Structures are given as structure tokens and as C-alpha cells.
Structure 1
Amino acid sequence: MLRESTPQVRDNISAGLPDSNALERVGKWMALHDISQSTVVRASRLSGGAIQENWRLEMNDGVSYVLRTDADAAIPTSCTREEEFYRYRLAFEQGARVAHPEGFCLDRSVIGKPFFILEFASGITAGHLLARNDTYVPDRAALAFELGELLGVVHRTPANHARAVFGTPPQSAASASIEHIRRQLDGLSEPHPALELCLRELEVRLGGASDAVFSHGDYRTGNYMVDNGRVSAILDWEFSGWGHPNEDLGWFTAPCWRFGRPEMGGGGIGPLQSFLDGYQEATGRAVRPSELVDWQALAQVKWAVIALHQEQRHVSGAQRSLELALSGRLVSELTLEAMNLLEIR
């Protein structure tokens, strides 16, 4: 897993990887668990990953891995690294295009907190580049089709396999998601009545939707890697679990994830219909664009609530970051777009 959106990296500077001793401990743990018998010679913080930390581990045999661990502060909607590791493994076993999950470490004596190791894959994730630079995406319809198809591979995971990781599915995946968002909103110190109004309207419109599938939960441009115009890996499974299939579709196609390309309904990188055609190819399920409008509104609300929690991580002092601080500035625009979408019908 490699994010090339920012060329700068920070070597061996983190609460998790402070010095060469930590690298030595990581190398020994990897050898003990038959991941690699080589020595870790360098650790570089990868760009991207607004919620968790990703580090490239370069071994003395020339092979690289990725170490994924907790950031200094988390948001309530994120699962643990142990849970995420097993979700990566479920996705990998079902044929999803993910980096191979090599192993999970709960032993805090290694770097001070849990982590897991992934294979290293090359590519670019930066949404603003993928949306606007045809060098990275020479065939936009083909990439959008592929992204729809890859999401369909995840959604067609047999229920018994998903149940082994997530437990019993909810009676209504849509209602469960809306209630989860409401709890996160209620946990904030300030009221947000416009978001509450949107959630109530969405509850009325979508609450009866009972289908539940293995859902990525954050499937969008920025959370997959593109190499030579094709997807090389789907990233960041920390929000995955049971979900209505349209929730992932609505999240990917929502206005908030088009990176300044509103005409590109397929995640800002390609035509919406190409994305839906790819999804139908993998699942046999045809979805009309009009079916996704309410789910896109839900995506706007969900991202607004996450942005509020991101801002709180900065304001509380738990993790000082300009990126996190600026997330809170998005909330008004996200809320207005959600209300506009809910007025379409």
C-alpha cells in the first residue's frame, strides 16, 4: 500500500516508530511470524490516511511492507486495528483487490500499540490528481467500470462468511447505519439541528431497506490506488461491516467525493453509468441513478458528522493537524448539499 499523493515522508518519527530499536523489534516480530526473515532498514510515513497511520517498511532484501497502526487520536466510527485486519483478510479471501494482510500484532512491547502488516503495492490515491489529470486516468469510463465491478465483488461475499467476522446482520442495515450516525452526532458537545432534520427524513425514506451485505463503508476516490490507469488496491477497511449495498454506491457517487468534477458522477473520475454498469457486471443487479439520490444525501450527512469528529481531534489537542481542523469547515456545505438532494423528490 503506497500513497504517492505527497512526495514528502518522515523517517522513523512517530509515537509508534521512534527509533532504530523499534524497527529492530518489528523485524524480529515479522521473522517470528514467518512474514519476512529480513531486517527492517528504513520506515517512512506514507502520505494520506487521515484517521490511521501507514508506514512503509523497507527490508534489506529490497522487499517492502506496510505497517498500519493507530493514529494519536481516533474517531468513534473507526474499528480497532485487530478488527480491521480480519476485515482485510475477509476481503482478500473473497477475491477483493486488496493488499495481502500478512499478520496482526497485539503485543504492545513491539511499538507501543497494536498494528498489522500488509504487502506493499504501488499506486496513487490523490483524488485531485485522479479527477483532473488524464495521465493517471487515460480511460475514465474503463476505470469507473472497474471500480463498480470491484465493489460488486465485495458485496457478493456469501452471508455466512461475512457473519463469521461481523456477527448477525441487523434487521435493517439502513436503519442501523442512520442510528449509528445519530449516536455520533449526539455525542458532540454542540447541537446540529439541520443534520438532525436530514437524518430524520432519511430514516423515513430509507429505514425499511433491509438488505445487508459486506460493505466497505468508505469506498471512494482517495481510498483506492491507481497504477497505470487501473486499480492496484482498495484501502482503509476500518469502517467496513454490514451495510445496505446502496450505501456504498451512494457514498462513492455523492457530490462530496467528486473532487471538483461534479459532472463525473462516478467518484469524480468517470461517468456514473460506467460505474453502475461495472457493478451490474459483478452482481447482476441493475441500479438506476435515481435510486441513489437519498443514499447520496446520507453520504453527505455521514461525512459531515465524521468531519465534526475530525475537527474535534484537533480542537481537543489530542492530534494537532491543519487538515483535521479544516474538516470542520466543510460541514455547512455538506449539510446544504444533503438538504438539496432530499428536495429532489
Structure 2
Amino acid sequence: MADEKSVQTELGKMLDPAKCEGKTALARLVGRGLGADVELGEVLQLSGGASSATWQVEVEKGCGIERLIFQRTASAEHTSLPRWVQAEVATRAGALGVPVAPVVAVARPEDGLGDAVVTRMMPGEALAPRWLRQPDYAAAREKLTMQCAEALARLHSAPVTHWNDLPLVGGSGAGLLERSFEVYRRIGVDVPAFDLAFAFLKPRMPQTPATCLVHGDFRSGNLLITPEGLAAVIDWELTHLSVPGEDLGWLCAQAWRFGKWEKPVGGFGTREALLEAYRAAGGTITDEELHVWEVYGNLKWGMSCLQLADDHVSGRVPSVERAVIGRRVSEVAADLSYLIAFGDL
């Protein structure tokens, strides 16, 4: 992996899509995707995630304005998948019936805009603490467990061969656990609850090869929600080949309930309802498999916290944000202990 300084230098060479030269390049990219010359209006930078920078782009069309989203890699760590792969996965997922933001265009190196993609702007709120609490989304929360289960069942329905031409990593659950344990040992911090979780999971994780593609980060925060329910599944950068339980268990991890702890499925639903809806939509998973993958999901989040803390403490990536998230290791330790002891959380 390149060091942060060199990556940031490379990122600094990219054209700014809100300034003249960058805006011209962006107009060419959008026009290529739409198949016609376009005039851009306002290009407004939005808040983004840890690895992406995002802009809202106004395209003048006839007497009206169409809004698109321009998103590119913008962090010290390159995203695990190039944008063109993410775009192709999302497009194929959409064809399977998963609600996604339609792809307009993918940037090429000669565009000077970086590893980037343009999509249609979808309606909906992504900030989970808002749609989990605001009264306007009450009806949406009632439907969301079923809608998420159906979206995941459709995504998981395609065999691994459906994705064979794409450079996707994958493997068995046992392999995922082994790689995570190697990171844990390399960091060299002993967390007894993590030791317990690794020991609990080792004989229970599947040894069999991947059976489907998983989103990899399907959770509250990566869903666009309208008052009517699920509008789109976003952020496909962690997609890979695995088994259905990984997506379902991750959705149940405590971190994605945002304080709504009594609703284990993303802060809005129950495990029983999720399993029932997933099976009704054609998916196959047992209660025991969901429990194992929920333990893994919480451990995976705990390992993320531990790695962020290590980034800061080691001096590799000094960051107050990483240090603060790293402190949540203790929360995950408590969650894992309770989940393993009582089978619920």
C-alpha cells in the first residue's frame, strides 16, 4: 500500500470538478455517458464517506435541471475495488432487482478526474440516525426489513459464475476468519473478548467455497431511504464473493443500530422477520448460520476499530477521528461477550 503522503500527492493532481478545467472535463464525461453534449450548472461538493468524495452535479436539459452524483476515491487508502468494477456490479445487481442508482458514466485515466463514476441522483436520506428516528419515516421503517431481505435475496440469487469476468476476491468463511486473525496477531493487542470470538467462530465458520456475491457493507448508512422505504443500495466498494450469511449478519451488527439496540436488524427490525422475509424471497439460511455471521460481523467491526486505533497509535496515520473510533473496541468487546453467552444482543 502506498504511504499517505504519496497517495495524497497523487490525489492532488486530480482536476477539481467544481472549477473551470475540471468542470469542463466533467461535462465531457457526463456527455459521453448521456450520449449528447451537456451544459453543467452548479457542481456542489457534499459530505462523503471515509474513502470517497462526492459532488452533486446539475445538468441543464431543455427547460429543466437533472441532478447527478459524481463520486471518486479521495482518501489515503485506495478503495478495494476500482470504480468501474463497482459500477458494473451495481448495474448487474440492478438487473437482478436490487434497487440501485443507475450508472451514467465511468471516468477513464485520460479524463483527469481520478477513479470516479457518475450516477443518477436518487431520492432518499442516507444518514441513518435521521430516518431511524424521524416520524416522517415511520412507515418506511415498517417495510424496511422485508425490502432489505428481498434486495439481498435477489443479489444472492445469482451464482458465482455470474461474476466470473470481474476481478473480485472471495473465499470461504474460514478463510475470512483466518485472515482477520492474522491481522489481530500482527497488531499485537490482546482483547479477551476478541480471543473468545475467534475461538467461538473457528469451528463454526464454513469451509466451503463462496456461493454468491455479497455487498460486503449492507447496513444502515449505506441505504437511501424515502418515506416509502428503500430507494437504493449504495457504496459497493467492499463487494466480494462469499455466502449470504455475511451480508445478513453484518446488517445485524450492533454498530449499525445507531442507538436503537432493541431492533437488531439495522435498528429497524427483528431477526425473525428478516429470516422469514429472506426465505420467502427465495433465500436460504438457517437461524444458526445467522447467529454465527452476526458474531463475525461484530468481530469484524471490532477489528476495524482496532486497526484504526493502531493507525493512530503507531503514527502511521495520525488522526483524532481514528483514535476516537478506536476507543469503541471496548463496546464491541462487551457486545461479543453478551452475544456469545446469550445468543442475543
Shorter-chain TM range is: 0.7 to 0.9
- Residue of structure 2 equivalent to 1:37: 37
Specify the alignment match of 1:251 in structure 2.
Answer: 250
Q: Partner of 1:105 in structure 2?
A: 107
1:6 corresponds to: none
Question: In structure 1, what is the equivalent of residue 126 of structure 2?
Answer: 125
Q: Which residue of 2 aligns with 1:93?
A: 95
Question: Does 1:140 find its partner at 2:141?
Answer: yes
Offset at residue 331 of structure 1 (A): 1.6
Contact 1:98 1:233 in 2 (8 A): yes
Matches of 2:257 and 2:165, distance apart in 1: 34
Offset, 1:56: 1.4
Aligned pair 1:65/2:68, yes or no? yes
Matched, 1:23 2:23: yes
Compared with structure 1, are the counterparts of its residues 139 and 225 closer, same or farther at alpha carbon in structure 2 (3 Å cutoff)?
closer
276-285 vs 205-214, which deviates more? 205-214
**Residues 221 and 33 (structure 1 numbering): CA distance in 2 closer, same or farther, change over 3 Å?**
closer
- Deviation of the 1:300 alpha carbon: 1.1
Give the 3 Å change call, closer, same or farther, for CA 90–267 of structure 1 in structure 2: same
Q: 1:110 to 1:178 in 2, by over 3 A?
A: same
Question: What is the deviation of 1:26?
Answer: 1.0
1:104-128 alpha-carbon deviations (Å, 9 max, x no partner)? 21315522x2111111101001111
Q: Percent of aligned positions with the same letter in both sequences?
A: 24
Q: Is the 8 A contact 1:224 1:235 kept in 2?
A: yes
- In the alignment, structure 2 segments of 5+ residues that lack a partner are 1-13
Counterpart position of 2:222? 223
The root-mean-square deviation of aligned C-alpha atoms, in Å, is 2.9
* SS in structure 2 at match of 1:343: helix
- Which protein, 1 or 2, shows the higher relative CO under an 8 Å CA cutoff with sep ≥ 6? 1
Compute the displacement of 1:94 (Å). Answer: 2.2
- Mapped to 1, the partners of 2:180 and 2:78 lie a distance apart of 12
Q: Does 1:234 align with 2:236?
A: no
Give the counterpart letter for 2:112 in structure 1: V
Look up the equivalent residue of 1:230 and give its one-letter code. G
Deviation string, structure 1 residues 199-220 (Cα, Å, up to 9, x no partner): 3431222143555211011111
What letter matches 1:306 in structure 2? S
Aligned to 2:81: 79
Structure 1 residues 295 and 284, CA gap change in structure 2 (3 angstroms): closer
SS at match of 1:205: coil
The corresponding residue for 1:179 is: 178
Q: TM-score, normalised by structure 2?
A: 0.83
Moved more, 48-57 or 191-200: 191-200
Matches of 1:36 and 1:312, distance apart in 2:
49
Q: Which residue identity lines up with residue 271 of structure 1 in the other structure?
A: T
- Label 1:276 to 1:341 Cα distance change in 2 as closer, same or farther (>3 A): same
The amino acid that maps onto 2:166 is V
Q: Which moved more, 1:293-302 or 1:232-241?
A: 293-302
User: Which whole-Å deviations, capped at 9, do the CAs of 1:237-276 have from their partners, x for residues lacking one?
Assistant: 1111111211111110122211111211221012332222
Residue number among 295, 298, 303 corresponding to 1:297 in the alignment: 295
